[in-house]
Amino acid sequence: MESRDIAPGAGEWESEIYHEAVGQFDRVAELINLDENVRERLRCPQRSIIVTFPFRRDEYAEVDTLYGYRVQHVLTMGPTKGGIRYAPDVSLGEVAGLAMLMTWKCSIVGLPFGGAKGGVRLSPEGLTRAELQRITRRYTAEIINFIGPNQDIPAPDLGTNEQTMAWIMDTYSQHQGHATPAVVTGKPPELGGSIARREATGRGVVSLLTPSADHIGLKVAGARVVIHGFGNVGKYAAVAASELDCKVVAVSDISGGVYDENGLIVYNVIKWVDENGTLEGFPDADHIGNDDMFTLPCDVLIPAAVGGVLTAANAPDVKARLILEGANNPTTGEADAIFKERDIFLVPDVLANAGGVTVSYFEWVQDLQNYFWSENETVARLREIMSRAFAEVLAISMDRHVTMREAALIKGVERVAKAKLVRGVYP
């Protein structure tokens, strides 16, 4: 019983993001009057793995020690699922918080997974392909007994990509003695990856623009859209928004933003970034700072870069009537309260960006069956799952008079809690 006295986020998983994730969970647990025993179990990730391993640079001058992590939050629902990130600030607490969010995300869209997350603490910039390959293979070897198609299925996240997944799949398969594509998702299509995975998150986010706009009485055609982040999520969100005849008035990457009140030609922006690597120098628009993005005149704001960008400092000046969270955790708790107060309709990350894990689920199913669907079939199934989840979350939000974030978490937490109660305690 003593562990119940430990403050949320304290102890083994101490970190801002774990603290926030537990705080959100606790608020929802109160709202639904969650069983105290289940509450305590869901606060604590079930498995937290820390590994250290040697890494030698190409010139072999010295051997460094690297830290790697994998956290599996809940094993009740099926295998666990979640990305692997390579970043300099990766910690056990960070991946624990993100693993918890993955549990709710999978549950909200009805996937048979618990949440997981992993990572290696390093700066991938400046490392050679051979170095990244050695790191990936050794990290995989260290966690190999904890991953697998029926156990835990990694995917790309910050600093990792299709190639990283190919190396993980190859390392795992070498140890098994046969090709095992279903051990990871987000692979290259040649290895059984889904063709639609690359665009899934951005397109999934924007698939919720129309039902959200209908709900708040906003006209979709001509709606002004601002997108913070122009990577995998932001770029395809921009394409999908322009296909809906919205006016994408601003996009940004780490170098800053570009703005045209009459609407950017998204195709030209993508062409520029593909050729130059960044938005810097894009000729056909005004250049603005990243911080200015959030307070531009617009109807729809899509944060699609990093966490913690919508804060108490800029939330009062946000002009958008609709926020679709493409990034994970872009809104602080204080900003969330301000948006609620200002009646800004916010579709939370655990729902809005669930398109990525949904298509990952499709990839896993297809790999297990060795039967592959067409791109159109995959996209149609993605739309169906996203719009059903949206309608269910909206109904909870209206019935219980809670925000969309609270409603999404209620849906996510309730399903997992019921599963835990019905499975019982072992032994």
Binding residues for ligand NAD, rule: CB under 6 A, are: 157-158, 201, 229-234, 253-254, 290, 304-306, 326-328, 353, 356
- Closest distance to ligand NAD from the beta carbon of 341 (Å): 25
- Closest distance to ligand NAD from the beta carbon of 377 (Å): 20
Is the Cβ of residue 192 or residue 420 nearer to ligand NAD in the bound state?
Answer: 192
Question: CA 315 → CA 290, 331, 334, 376, distances in Å?
Answer: 15, 9, 9, 38
Q: Which residues pair with 148 in a beta bridge?
A: 152
Find the catalytic residue in 81, 105, 117, 187. Answer: 117
Is the Cβ of residue 158 or residue 179 nearer to ligand NAD in the bound state?
Answer: 158
Is the Cβ of residue 142 or residue 199 nearer to ligand NAD in the bound state?
Answer: 199
What b/e sequence results for 356-381 when a residue is b if at least 16 CB atoms lie within 10 Å of its CB, and e otherwise? bbbbbbbbbebbeeeebbeeeebbeb
Catalytic status, residue 420 = no
Judged on CB neighbours under 10 Å (0-12, 13-18, 19+), 96 is buried
Residue nearest to ligand NAD (CB): 231
Is the Cβ of residue 40 or residue 280 nearer to ligand NAD in the bound state?
Answer: 280
CA 333, 335, 339, 340 torsion: positive or negative?
Answer: positive
DSSP helix, strand, coil percent of the chain (3-state; round to 5): 50, 15, 35
- Closest distance to ligand NAD from the beta carbon of 243 (Å): 18
Is the Cβ of residue 51 or residue 158 nearer to ligand NAD in the bound state?
Answer: 158
Is the Cβ of residue 304 or residue 320 nearer to ligand NAD in the bound state?
Answer: 304
- Closest distance to ligand NAD from the beta carbon of 293 (Å): 9
Is the Cβ of residue 152 or residue 199 nearer to ligand NAD in the bound state?
Answer: 199
Q: Report which DSSP code applies to 51.
A: E
Element (H, E) at 65: strand 63-72
CA-nearest of 307, 298, 293, 300 to 349 is 307
- Closest distance to ligand NAD from the beta carbon of 201 (Å): 4
- Closest distance to ligand NAD from the beta carbon of 174 (Å): 27
Q: Contacts for 383-388 with beta carbons within 8 Å, 24 or more apart?
A: 383/207, 385/109, 385/110, 385/358, 386/109, 386/204, 386/207, 386/208, 386/354, 386/355, 386/358, 387/207, 387/208, 387/211
- Closest distance to ligand NAD from the beta carbon of 263 (Å): 20
In the three-class reduction of DSSP (H, G, I as helix; E, B as strand; rest coil), residue 304 is classed as coil
What b/e sequence results for 310-338 when a residue is b if at least 16 CB atoms lie within 10 Å of its CB, and e otherwise? beeebbeebebbbbbbbbbbbbbeebbeb
For the annotated catalytic residues, the residue numbers are: 117
